[in-house]
Structure 1
Amino acid sequence: MRTLTTTEELAAFCDLAKDAPYVTLDTEFLRERTYYSKLCLIQMGLPGDGEAVLIDPIEGGEGLSLEPLYALFRNPDVVKVFHAARQDLEIFFHEGNVFPDPLFDTQVAAMVCGFGEQVGYETLVRKIVHAGVDKSSRFTDWSRRPLSEAQKTYALADVTHLRVIYEHLAAKLEKSGRTHWVSEELSVLTDPKTYIVEPDEAWRRVKTRTPSGKFLALVRELAKFREIHARDSNIPRNRVFKDDAMLELASTKPRDMKDLGKSRMLLREGRKGAIADGILAAIEAGLAADPESYPKPDLSRDKLQVNPALADLLRVLLKAKSESANVAQKLIATSAELDQIAAGQRDVPALRGWRAEVFGADALRLCDGGIALTASGTDVHIVDL
């Protein structure tokens, strides 16, 4: 197995890859100690029995530029194949401000092809390739060097088996006419908004049952400070302070270091230095906020006038449609979306695009009294009215 550690080696391999119909890719990274994922290894394979290589940015250091790989990402003639690509794409977006295009995600494709919800790579290897995956290196520290032969073998298996999986799923999608379904799903993965957290909006990720605008103003300022400090220091958010500590601070409203020292949930690092100063400044900003600027929680779901009987019927219809189309239920519609439809809302993802073909159109007919559902044994049938 070959490991590429120089720009010249990577450029030569990408020059071979540009003539291939597709390449398979995966990454190994660490994120436990940083805000941004630390890229440790890239695996790439050529079609069929073509070579698969490791690209090592740690060993390569400054002598390895990933620009030849990014140029391949921009090549519209080569499909870039990943499994569960979200975290990989986030890394490449932050590292190189680029998304692979065109992109194929075998996890999404497998859900469309009836392999269940959030199907794992090992499951696809077992069911499609009829092989096993060595799990011994799964929880390894990929930042440590040198890599063992076992680690390298494990890493390469993530792209060699992926070639067979891709060809199988792509053929199945082409035969069923569902290739565009996968393309619709992947548009979210290649949207920069998916990977950018705006500090002013970070409060929305904090779970709280308190609808008080004054309380949420404090949460907003604390979450904003945490996001900026974590990002600028490249440390995990929880290293600044955890959500439960944030909610405690928003409740107790410490005004000085003495008050801050009384916190039960704040880490030791949060009681001194820049973090402590930032917390006190955030509390002050939250208390001084104009009531007109208070955050407004999304209470629309709480106010939904859901017809429970209709919601239950929609769940039955979804199950029937999912089984008929052999597509994972959660990929078609979530439970929350079914409640929204049952409450009369129509701007719902389940009613658009390919989902409308599979489920949405009949869901609306059911809501409007145009169809009924009947059961025969374990089967559900649609009856036109």
Structure 2
Amino acid sequence: MKIHDLITDTDTLAAMCERLAKSDFVTVDTEFMRENTYWPELCLVQIANEEEAAAIDPLADGIDLQPLWDLLCDNEEVLKVFHAGGQDVEIVYNFTGKTPHPIFDTQIAMMAISQNEQIGYANLVESWMGITVDKGARFTDWGRRPLTDRQIEYAIGDVTHLSKIFPMILKKLIKTGRGVWLDAEMDKLADPANYANNADLAWKRIRSPGRNPTVLGRLKALAAWRESEAQHKDIPRGRIMRDETLADIASHPPKKQSDLIKVRGLSNAWKDNDIGKRLMKVIEKAEPLPKDEMPEKPKRGAPLGKEGALVADLLKLLLKIRAREIDVASRLLTRADEMEALAAGVRKLPILQGWRYEVFGKDALELVEGRLAFAVKDGRLLMTHVDDVHAGMIEAAQDEVITGDEVEAE
């Protein structure tokens, strides 16, 4: 594989993107800094196919990244391969308002062919290639220039290894027929709605303090205000105020600015500074949350109760057995809250649809409805259908009767 020098000009970038546009796939990674800013600062982009690889310096004077964005977001013929690519996709969206498409994430794919829930990149490389990745440059300051040879080598390694691993993962997915399992997960990763920074929806990321419209209205107003403050100052939203503090103020709003000194998580300065004044104005102007914006009530059946909780525990045991049998990450099949809903009587669930129903949901439903049981054979916990157990018992009883008749005849 040809490794290029650090790309720092538009012409070189455009030429490489033109070559990569003829590939079936490209592997992509980014290095960024976001510890002290609201918006992540893109410091490096690495890209490769099976023949060449390079790192691109987005901080280089005069460089225009448009050829890269055209390749990632507008070229539908080239598959874009990431590992744990959520933050990388977010950065592309921040620059372009679009997301890479079509897209493939090897961390998600590993869930369909192994029991790894969130395999890290270093472990991925070691498991597929037997190579130990040098993690020394992992927490480097990517914004500092010039970059060292070691930094560039480390960064490019992320995409060169991935360009060799992806075809192997794809081959196993095709062999097992599990590629279709991942379609919805990849579409979700590429959905621009996941990355749109709508301040009016920021409150939905915060654990809601109940379902009181007045409280939720304040929470919505406060969360939108915090986003605006953080964006204006270009600092992480948590530096303005933590989620817990925001929710507390929404539930128990101070009557006057001097009361802010009593709010846990705020410094004494809030009682008379400008940001404290702006906060109080937001609280005063907040309106109750409209009915059409109220969060839906959790879809549950009857309360679980003690017996229902035991059924949910059995479902979790069944999930462990099935995930082990077919070598798949249990999180790809279902979640704990979904199994609790199934145990409580809910039937409109993802687990009872499509491939999830065939692989796990069918057995889960039979267990809940009493048609599936557990059995131990040769020291292993297995699933068995109740009808099969009954048939075995009848057959065993018939054998005893026959044996008894034979004894009497003798």
Q: In the alignment, is the contact (CA less than 8 A) between 1:350 and 1:359 conserved in 2?
A: yes
Tell me by how many angstroms 1:57 deviates: 0.4
In structure 2, the residue matched to 1:88 is: 88
Where do 5+ consecutive residues of structure 2 fail to align?
388-410
CA distance in 2, matches of 1:201, 1:182: 28
CA distance in 1, matches of 2:77, 2:289: 54
Matched, 1:23 2:22: no
**3-state SS of 2:337 partner:** helix
**3-state SS of 1:77 partner:** coil
Q: 1:223 and 1:12, CA in 2 relative to 1: closer, same or farther beyond 3 A? A: same
> Aligned runs of 1:39-188 on 2, under 5 Å?
39-47=42-50, 50-59=51-60, 61=61, 63-73=62-72, 74-188=74-188
In structure 2, the residue matched to 1:253 is: 253
Aligned with residue 303 of structure 2, among 299, 305, 309: 305
Q: 1:69 and 1:352, CA in 2 relative to 1: closer, same or farther beyond 3 A? A: farther
Tell me by how many angstroms 1:264 deviates: 4.5
CA distance in 1, matches of 2:64, 2:187: 27
Structure with the greater alpha carbon radius of gyration: 2
In structure 2, the residue matched to 1:321 is: 322
Q: In the alignment, is the contact (CA less than 8 A) between 2:218 and 2:288 conserved in 1?
A: no
**3-state SS of 1:57 partner:** coil
Q: 1:99 and 1:219, CA in 2 relative to 1: closer, same or farther beyond 3 A? A: closer
Where do 5+ consecutive residues of structure 1 fail to align?
none
In structure 2, the residue matched to 1:244 is: 244
Tell me by how many angstroms 1:382 deviates: 2.9
In structure 1, the residue matched to 2:14 is: 11
After superposition, give the CA deviation of every residue in 1:133-178 in whole Å (9 maximum; x if it has no partner). 1111111111111111111111011111111211110110011111
Q: 1:14 and 1:291, CA in 2 relative to 1: closer, same or farther beyond 3 A? A: closer
Residue 337 of structure 1 aligns with an amino acid whose one-letter code is E
Residue 187 of structure 2 aligns with an amino acid whose one-letter code is S
Q: 1:374 and 1:19, CA in 2 relative to 1: closer, same or farther beyond 3 A? A: same
**3-state SS of 1:119 partner:** coil
CA distance in 1, matches of 2:79, 2:291: 46
In structure 2, the residue matched to 1:375 is: 376
CA distance in 2, matches of 1:303, 1:368: 15
Tell me by how many angstroms 1:64 deviates: 1.8
> Aligned runs of 1:258-273 on 2, under 5 Å?
258-267=258-267, 270=270
How many positions carry a matched residue from both structures? Answer: 379
Residue 380 of structure 2 aligns with an amino acid whose one-letter code is T
In structure 2, the residue matched to 1:219 is: 219
CA distance in 2, matches of 1:92, 1:268: 39
Q: Which moved more, 1:216-225 or 1:76-85?
A: 216-225
Q: In the alignment, is the contact (CA less than 8 A) between 2:33 and 2:143 conserved in 1?
A: yes
Tell me by how many angstroms 1:96 deviates: 1.1
The percent of aligned pairs where both chains have the same amino acid is 38
Q: In the alignment, is the contact (CA less than 8 A) between 1:44 and 1:159 conserved in 2?
A: yes
Over aligned residues, Cα RMSD in angstroms?
2.5
CA distance in 1, matches of 2:164, 2:321: 31
Tell me by how many angstroms 1:197 deviates: 4.5
CA distance in 1, matches of 2:103, 2:140: 28
